[in-house]
Amino acid sequence: MSTRYRTVPVQTSGMPTGIPFIIGNEAAERFSFYGMKAILTIFMAKHLLNTSGVPDYLPEAVAKEWMHYFICAVYATPVLGAILSDWLFGKYPTIIGLSLFYCVGHGVLALIDSPLAHEIAPKMLLVVGLGFISLGAGGIKPCVSAHVGDQFGEMNQHLLTKVYSWFYFSINLGSAFSTLLTPVLLEEFGPGWAFGVPGILMAIATLVFWAGRHRFVHIPPAGSAFFRETFSPEGRRAILNLVPLYLCVAMFWSLFDQTSSAWVLQAEKMNRVMFDFKLGELQLRWEALSSQLQAANPILVMAFIPFCSFVVYPALGRLFQLTPLRKIAMGFFFTAFSFVISAWVEHRITEGATPHIIWQIVAYFILTMGEVMVSITALEFSYTQAPKKMKSFIMSAYLLSVSLGNLVTALVNHAIQLPEGKSRLPGASYYWFFAAAMFVTACLFLVSIRFYRGGTYVQGEET
């Protein structure tokens, strides 16, 4: 493969030199994505205007539906990115090229309260901007996560788990800051700044990744061998082995991604005063914005990653063999229970009470424990189960499970809509429905893992 950058050989030991650039890029890119995503539901339901500047808000069920169709698109386009990467261009050029589409999408959203919004319907700008972001954010996803694994060989593969944990840590660091900041920008300065600042961070992310181009191991594209290996007996076997896992993980994402839709709208009806007291003549009071509550998840992830790695997993490992698939199964049950808490909260709201937001934070505790067990484990497991020339493709198949889960949520929200804003799943029954679906999925997954047969593939080694 002819490139303008130097191809670094796989290091035989120690931490690869390109890893800091990948981690820095991921933190900035995730700031941009989660910052925009944090305010999207509230923007559509509470801030969207038409070309005349008159409110054009979407009903809550429709706002949730649009949000989950967007997330569905973000996690469907990784298949395109994987094919471009593994077949034609390689991971690095694909990431750089699609990142430019990503930046354009943020730029379009930043125009949504500019004078241009009086000429072009803000809804149209929203659709176009989200379309570019879907292509960019989704297209680079399998390439970036597989690019991490490409930096390791046989002698330092033992560091892969550590780096994937740091990779996930950087995601949540960027997410935590942006989720706290962008709702304030929306309330105080409007959607232009709220969508524009994440766009600036995406430009920084692209620049950081470009700066590390001479430090990376660059695995060349497989060309036509990509299709031969994908559809070879080994490739078909790897895909078929993972299908049951990905179908079950899809239900996890169906619940998890409602933290940016249903849980935000639920928080609007809760008591969000975090503290309110006097210190002398100084009044100290903070009422959190409903979109800001999403920051609980990334903050908890950063705490739970080391807690699980150094406390929970070693303790469980002394009781029984703790395989990746068993970790995922436990995470499914945690996820189902988090929605039981949400159902109870919604029941209190329909009774006319105003539950304190601490109950939603309790649900975040439980859901985040499930996420650490499911998402990090499934990400690393997917990479190791993919034959060498299929790394990006398998990662995109894993991300397709996120798309499928959000499609389920969007279709459910569409199907339950009744005239005059009524719902076929009113109040707490909406949350009980998803809790039950996740519990049944977890039970079926426990049965399916007994039949899993797969192999492990890293660069330079196959077992």
Predicted pLDDT at 212: 84
At 13 the pLDDT is 60
Q: How confident is the model at residue 255 (pLDDT cuts 50, 70, 90)?
A: very high
Q: Give the amino acid at 224.
A: S
- Write the CB contacts of 123 (distance below 8 Å, at least 6 apart in sequence): 48, 50, 56
Q: Are 403 and 76 in contact (CB under 8 A)?
A: yes
pLDDT band at 8 (very low <50, low <70, confident <90, very high): low
pLDDT at residue 15 greater than cutoff 70: yes
Sign of CA dihedral 240, 242, 245, 249: negative
Instruction: Give pLDDT, residue 2.
Output: 41
Q: In angstroms, rounded to a whole number, what is the distance separating the alpha carbons of residues 133 and 231?
A: 30
pLDDT of residue 387: 75
Which of these ranges, 1-15, 21-35, 111-125, has the smallest mean pLDDT?
1-15
Query: Of all residues in the chain, what percent carry a pLDDT higher than 90?
Result: 49
Angle at 295 (CA atoms; ends 292, 297), nearest 5 degrees = 140
pLDDT at 347 over 80: yes
Provide the CA 106 distance to its chain's centre, in angstroms. Answer: 17
All structural domains of the chain:
19-450 (1.20.1250.20)
pLDDT reported for residue 376? 84
Whole-prediction pTM value? 0.84
In angstroms, the CA 40 to CA 172 distance is 18
202-238 residue pLDDT tens? 999 899 888 888 888 888 887 877 777 777 787 788 8
- Whether the per-residue pLDDT at 101 is higher than 90: the answer is yes
Average pLDDT for 96-111? 92
pLDDT at residue 275 greater than cutoff 50? yes
pLDDT of residue 278: 80
pLDDT band at 124 (very low <50, low <70, confident <90, very high): very high
Q: At what angle do helices 233-256 and 391-415 cross, to 10 degrees?
A: 40
Average pLDDT over residues 126-150: 86
Per-residue model confidence (pLDDT) at position 125: 93
* Mean pLDDT lowest among 173-187, 373-387, 445-459: 445-459
* SS3 per-residue string spanning 196-250: HHHHHHHHHHHHHHHHCCCCCCCCCCCCHHHHHHHCCHHHHHHHHHHHHHHHHHH
Q: Is the pLDDT of residue 240 over 60?
A: yes
Question: What angle (nearest 5°) sits at the alpha carbon of residue 372, between those of residues 371 and 374?
Answer: 60
| pLDDT averaged over every residue in the chain | 87
Does 463 score more than 60 pLDDT? Answer: no
Q: Alpha-carbon distance 322 to 308, whole Å?
A: 12
Answer with the residue of higher pLDDT: 382 or 345: 345
pLDDT for 410: 96
Token output for 201: 């961070």
Q: 365-411: per-residue pLDDT in tens?
A: 999 999 999 998 898 888 778 777 677 678 778 888 999 999 999 99
Residue 291 predicted with pLDDT over 90: yes
Amino acid at 343: A
* Number of other residues whose CB lies within 10 A of the CB of residue 251: 26
pLDDT (average), residues 114-118? 82
Q: How far is CA 9 from CA 6, 115, 215, 218, in A?
A: 10, 51, 10, 8
Strand partners, 156: none
